[in-house]
Chains A and B, each alone.
Chain A
Amino acid sequence: MRMLHRLFAAAFMLALFSVTASAQTKLRFYSWQTDDQSNSIWWRAANKAFEDANPGVSIDFVKVPRDSFADTMMVMFSGNTAPDIVHLASFEFPAFAQEDFLEDLTPYIQRDGLDLKGWAGQEKCSVHGKIVCINMNYFGYLMFYNAALLKQAGVAVPHDWAGYLDAVRKVTAAGGGQVFGAGLHTTAGAGQYLTELLAVVLDAGGRWSNAAGKPTIDSPEVIEGLRRWKLLQTEKLTPMGLKAEDIRQLFIEGRVAIRLDGPWMWGLLAKAKPELRPSLMVAETPTATPLGGTSNVIGMPASLPAERKKLVWDYIKLVTSQHWQEQYVALSGQLAPRPHSLTAEALAAKPFLSVFQAAQDKAAAQGIDRLPTGFETSYNEFAKIVTEEAQRMVIDNADPAAVAKRIQARAVALQKG
């Protein structure tokens, strides 16, 4: 009988130990970058490093598709079940900051002396005098092109708008309806539509708003940008009605010759067929002013308990450290926002990063951001207005000047609420 009691006691202790051992603190981290060919490699490495440095703490790195990310976050924040580590696109975090959902990181930054001087795109994280996030990526747009298709069409790699237009016209003409010179997002998904339209508008010298946030859409430069955008579609130089993801796929299948996109597309090129891959190249955009901007930010919910806030801040400190910013460049193949993250070794291993750096520097020097000043908290609504009117311009063959005037009026009304 005593033996039986001892056995029970041992089993009880074992069970208790197992429960204690498995009672880890789990930090929930929801992201759309869990399985891409670039960012996810770095995130996973950083998560593992954090877990190794913090025994008993694990990170639940969960995928939420990009298309439904903002919806999911809104539902989670509304239900007081926000993730511990908040990851948001740069165009969606202002709406959450506006509702005071995000913790003010200023005291943490000051206490631990996190140096944000020269941190690319970080100024966008300041809302009403509070730093509510850390920018994790500032990009410059790049030109991805299929050298074989350009060669077949007898055109050189373009360096300006005229060269670009000539190239996409000739490739499309040679493509017989199956290959297109340009690849534009021209369908649902107003945010992406606006970004791609902005790339064309910027080259014409236009901006959606000025530094004070006042809309400048009826300016001659924006009108010229709209005219160019219309031209690319009315001449059918791009497949119509496709999303950016579809266009990227067509690019790596050799059916689109030139695609202007962010550095995240570089990782996708590895999925191209081996015989096509050598033809897929990257260069600076053929635009005088390249599109650039903040991509995504990291932060924490204001409603988090203090002990979890401490852990999340430790995590933010880790991923923003010099070492892990350098690792970002090495593992993701993209530039990190922290200054001096691009080391000589990384550049030697990945020579294309010099092109990325040039594009980023050029965009940053001109203060370009895809998020227009004055429309930070109503970005999606602004994007819808511009997209609808630009689509109407193409469908109805409308005058770009009249379209610009209409967008301007709607944008002003939007700001007035």
Chain B
Amino acid sequence: MTAARLWRPGARGWLGILLMGPSAITVAFLIVFPLARALDLSFQKIRISRVGGARLPFTLDNYTRALGNDEFWNAAEISLAFVLLVTIGCFLIGIAAALMVNQRFPGRRIARLLVALPWAVPEVVAATIWAWMFDGSFGVINWLLLKLDLISGPIAWLSQPHEAFAVCTVALIWSGYPFVAVMVLAGLQAIPEELYEAARMDGAHAWQRFRDVTLPALRPVCAIAMVLVVLRVIRDFATVYVITGGGPVGATRSLAVYTYEQAFSFYNIGYAAAVGLITLLLCAAFSTMVVRRQVAR
């Protein structure tokens, strides 16, 4: 087939396939192969897998063990709690920040940069800084609270279950809200000014304009942002692991940390693969539900 014939309308489909082919094959290799491998491992009672090693007999043990294991459900609960609190926190701060930097005021560019700044900090670096700030003996947070007479003695932030959970939540919100802010800011800029003018002419005050114009217009953006924030929180490993390692007493052991622990600390690769796939199914179910609702609207 000559180049000229390739550009004929009938051949455009084939050209597209030809051009997409390498990318599609690469993506398939990077995503489908590991998934298939994880699926295969999850049905074997295997401690450490080996490429080219003999396959162990098929078993559902890993799944029945996970579903009947208190530690798994505890990790699922912790992940759910992180998802709820971090998503709410990210959206409250993200929307507020976006509304703020959408206004015209001197230094708006710098303000926008500052809002997005936490997004640019590598997760591990941010988590290490948070861990030091909340250090029970020498951390700046305790120092500040003591100086302001808000506490009578230092709080062992990372040695107490609720406090450690709170620290991880704060760190996750801090690193997650800029994404929501950027998405919402883009959504705000896409709302036609005429809608606000019409609302003003109808006598709508600021809150009514926000409720009846801004929020409905932002709904599609927020839906997508919510899916991405939720998925990020569920799969977040670095922040929680660096700050608390999943402790104390498992109070911050999310599904991601639990999976890692089983795979790399206890060498239960088959079981970890099963837990990972259950997590994947939960994420897929959530994403599908939100996207379907959005399409239905």
Instruction: List residues of A whose CB falls within 8 A of some B CB.
Output: 70-71, 74, 77-80, 95-96, 98-99, 101, 177, 180, 186-190, 239-242, 255, 378, 380-381, 384, 387-388, 391-392, 394-395
Contacts and interface: CB of A to CB of B under 8 A. Distances in A.
Given A74-B264, A99-B47, A180-B137, 20 more contacts: A71-B264, A78-B48, A78-B49, A80-B51, A95-B267, A187-B158, A187-B247, A239-B137, A240-B159, A241-B137, A241-B156, A242-B135, A378-B266, A380-B267, A381-B265, A384-B266, A388-B247, A391-B247, A395-B159, A395-B160
Contact of B51 (A78, A190, A255): A78
B249 A391 contact: yes
A189 B137 CA distance: 19
Interface string B250-264: 100000000001001
A23 B138 CA distance: 53
A244 B51 CA distance: 36
B157 A241 contact: yes
22 contacts: A74-B48, A74-B264, A78-B49, A78-B51, A80-B51, A101-B48, A187-B248, A188-B244, A188-B247, A239-B138, A240-B137, A240-B159, A241-B135, A241-B156, A381-B265, A381-B266, A384-B266, A387-B247, A391-B159, A391-B247, A391-B249, A395-B159
A190 B248 CA distance: 11
Tell me the interface secondary structure of chain B in the complex. Answer: loop
Interface of B: 47-52, 135-138, 154, 156-161, 241, 244-250, 261, 264-267, 269
A78 B50 contact: yes
A98 B47 CA distance: 10
B48 A99 contact: yes
A74 B262 CA distance: 13
A190 B261 CA distance: 11
A190 B265 CA distance: 10
A186 B245 contact: no
Residue among A101, A188, A380, A394 with most chain B CB within 10 A: A188
A79 to B, nearest CB: 5
Nearest to B139: A241
Contacts of B244: 187-188
Residue among B136, B160, B267 with most chain A CB within 10 A: B267
A79 B245 CA distance: 26
